[in-house]
Structure formats: C-alpha cells, structure tokens
Amino acid sequence: MAKVGYIGLGIMGAAIARNLMKAGHELVVHNRSQAIVDQLVSEGAKRANSPREVARQVEFVFTNLPDSPDVELVALGKDGIIEGAHDGLIFIDNSTIKPETARKIAERLAEAGVASLDAAVSGGDVGARNGTLTIMVGGPEDAFQKAVPLFEAMGKAWVLVGDSGAGQIAKACNQIIVGAQMVALAEALITAQKAGVDPQRMVEAIKGGAAQMWTLDVKPPRLFAGNRQPGFKAYMQHKDLGIVLDTARTYGIPLPMTALTMQLYAAMLEQGNRELDNSAIISVYESLAGIHLDEPLQD
C-alpha cells in the first residue's frame, strides 16, 4: 500500500480520497475548507497544513481543484508541492485544466525530480463515490504504471493517452460530448413535455435504442424527482467548455456547436443557477418554452 496525499476535497475529491483509503492506502489530506478535512481525519486520514507538508510525507500527491490557476498555485507556489519535492514523488492532477498549464507544471516539477501525470476524470459524483471513474492520463509511462494501483481504487478504466497534457486534451474532447449531451437531453425532455407526451415514458422508449448514453441513463431520474443539485456544477461545465474553446483557438479548430453550448451555459449562470447540476441546463429551455418539467401535461 502507498502513502498518498490528496489536495482539494470537493464533491469529487472527497469521494476519491475515501476510495483510496478504503483500498488500504495511507492518506494525508489538505483543503481550504476544514470541515471535510475533519470528516476524513475522523475516518482515518492524516491532516496537513499546506501542499508542501503533504508532499513531504507521501509517495503520490493528488490535486483536484477548480481551475488552472488553482492547480498552478498549489503545485508551484509558496508552500506548494514543489517545495516538498523529494526523490520518487509522483504528482497526479485530477482537475480539468488547460493542457498548456499541465505541461508547464510537469516541466517545472521535473526540474525538481518529480514526475507528473495529468489524470482528468469523468463519471460525475456517482462515479467518484462508486469508484467507477474513467481516468484520462498524460505523462511518462513509468509514472503511469506506478499509479495504476491507485487508479484501480478510483475507477473502472484508465488510459495513458500520451505525453504531458494529453490527458487534458482527452478531457476537453470528453467535455465537448458531455455538454452536447446535456443540451440534447434538455431539448428532448422539453419537446416531449410541450407536445403533451409524458417525458418519463419518452425516456423509457428511447433509452434502449440509438439514443442510449450515460446521460440518458443517469440524469432523467434525478430531474424527474425534482433534484437539480450537483453532481457536476453548471459553472464548472461552463469553465470546462471555456478550456475547450481556448484549446480550439490554440490549434485553429472550428467548434461552432461547442461555442453554442457554452453560450447556453452562460445563460444558465445568468439565471443564478451556477451551483446547480449541469443537467439543470433544462432551466434555460424551460424559460424559452414557457413550460416547466414538473408541470402537468397539456391536453
């Protein structure tokens, strides 16, 4: 079993950290909010007061943070992971950040003798809790192989996509599809509701056919129950789509559908729904169509 550090204990990070402990790994945790740290310490983790303090004590140090500047600060800033660097340390980032930032961090940490893996994850809060995440990895092969026992505790699939930054490119591609699926689901549900057809029966009718997808399996039951809590927060989906479009500009890639999807999420954020689940993009369509998913069907 390994000594593992985890920094960033939000919805996803806390669940991943718990699965690492359940697998028998010794865990050191750090987070800006101390309530979740207290919970994990009560479950067997050890508290650390800075990223540097985490790094000094472990063989692997994970981060799971909101955006590129956050990861860069924790990895390379004052009292950061780089200040706790030691031989054999492997840095693994579960965040979704710009590929260029992942490469910059990997280069700087390599100078300090630390191998880096950008290991973006997909599968939402359900996948994080159940240990069924998909893990998209960029970085050196030897570090990846050493990390596989940890990935086994976190997910159901892990792929080394390429060199540093490749995991984040794969995650960008993932988010193109996820965003489009959430929008398509919203349009389908509102179409059924507005046309006087029971959306729940519509979903039952189509989910075994060509429209079958993870989103159609997981999100409608939550929406039908009136549950629009995250999950994966809408403002994070919006942020991820911004990374996709920044990457598209870097490489000269036309992504008109993704640009429209991002604008729909921007509208959702303007509605004041930034903290809701990304599937709650249906709220934008409800406003446009003048109908709510919970309303009785029209005769």
One-letter amino acid of 119:
A
Calculate the alpha carbon distances from 257 to 7, 31, 213, 249 in Å: 34, 36, 19, 14
Say what angle helices 256-270 and 282-289 make with each other, to 10 degrees.
Answer: 80
Which residues are tagged catalytic?
Answer: 171
Strand arrangement of the beta sheet that strand 26-30 belongs to: 46-47, 26-30, 3-7, 60-63, 90-93, 115-122, 133-138, 155-162
- Cβ atoms 61, 208 nearer than 8 A: no
- Cβ atoms 28, 3 nearer than 8 A: yes
- Cβ atoms 202, 187 nearer than 8 A: no
Of 26, 62, 76, 16, nearest to 46 by C-alpha is 26
Q: Are strands 115-122 and 133-138 parallel, antiparallel or unpaired?
A: antiparallel
Q: Six-digit token pair at 163?
A: 């060199």
- The number of beta carbons lying within 10 Å of the beta carbon of residue 298 is 9
Q: Six-digit token pair at 239?
A: 């942020």
Element (H, E) at 124: helix 124-130
- Cβ atoms 99, 246 nearer than 8 A: no
Beta-bridge partner residues of 216: none
**290 phi and psi, to 5 degrees?**
70, 35
